[in-house]
Amino acid sequence: MMQTRFPTDDGFSMPPEWAPHAGTYMAWPCNGDVFRDRLDQARDAYAGLAKAIADFEPVTMYAQAGDVEDAAARCGKSVSVVAQPLDDSWARDIGATFTTDGKGALAGIDWRFNAWGEGYPHWEKDALVAAAMIERERARAYPIPIFMEGGGLHTDGRGTILTTDSVILNDNRNPGLTKPEADEILTRALGGTQVIWLDGEALEYDDTDGHIDNLSCFVREGVVATLVAADPLDPQYERLKANADRLRAARDATGKPFEVVEIAHPEKRVEHGNRLALSYINFYIANQAVMAPVFDDPADGPALDILRRLFPERTVIPLPGIEVVRGGGCFHCITQQVPRA
């Protein structure tokens, strides 16, 4: 691993998600097994999100060759639909993690991908998507021989990284990898000196093994939003509270404490024997806007109020999230930003 060339070796680091974007990538739903009998509804939800983002920045929608016409028809002329072989539709996880050098150059991290620890039978096409993105953006490529997904990390762009202990350290991805080794990989890949580890198994069910983007995220320098349960009797209550407490006790790369803002999740909803991983943290920050999932739940209003307070300079746009969550993620999971170099 020490022989691997990392972006930071050449002056690149990952900007925070609120930094200006050159555009957004998405991937058109194509796996009927994931969305069961709701693939058509999922496609409408993806199209709705893509069109909303396209009001603020360019959107590129990858789609299987046979789906290009359908995707273009649903997304409209504001979204560029590009043919790309796919197994699934989670652009955050299959796509490149982009970095910049502050001098106008763009680079992409190509993590290894194995469908969330071989959680699904096919990922051969998805494993090539990051390289395709990097080539399309004419960015410098940094292949890193570790299994990791974009939904498993957040950065404040100033040296602090958020992740969970159940993804990169999981034996279904990187058996034998230690936390100090993971610290080095993440900081050298993304740019930073401090990694804050949270409990990725705080949700009752999450087939990513606990991505950080369902749990906590930076919203601006020094401020972290984190998911909590309002009901002390909820099985998720204690572990989500422990994550919030861990964030309050943590310090950023400069030694400063965080302002921790709690957002309570919707009421429990079970489908096909599993609790849906409903989270208001899984929003997407676009240029001048925040695309916020709502779930036709009493908690929607309070969550949107908090997001509007956290992003006073952006328009918070509520969009239905349930059809995306039925597939296993939400808006952050199905988008990947390209920072403006």
Q: Supply φ then ψ for residue 263, to 5 degrees.
A: -125, 120
Q: Which of 136, 152, 161 is nearest to 61 (CA)?
A: 136
**What string of H, E and C letters represents the secondary structure of 162-179?**
EEECCCCCCCCCCCCCCH
Residue appearing with tokens 């779930």: 295
Structure tokens of 97? 């993690």
Q: Which of 30, 75, 217, 333 is catalytic?
A: 333
What is the sign, positive or negative, of the torsion defined by CA atoms of 312, 317, 318, 319? negative
Question: Has 333 been annotated as catalytic?
Answer: yes
Contact of 96 with 6, CB cutoff 8 Å: no
* DSSP assignment of 242-310: HHHHHHHH-B-TTSPBPEEEEEEPPPP-EETTEE----TT--EEETTEEEEEE-SSTTHHHHHHHHHHH
Contact of 92 with 335, CB cutoff 8 Å: yes
CB atoms within 10 A of CB 264: 17
Which sequence positions are flagged as catalytic? 333
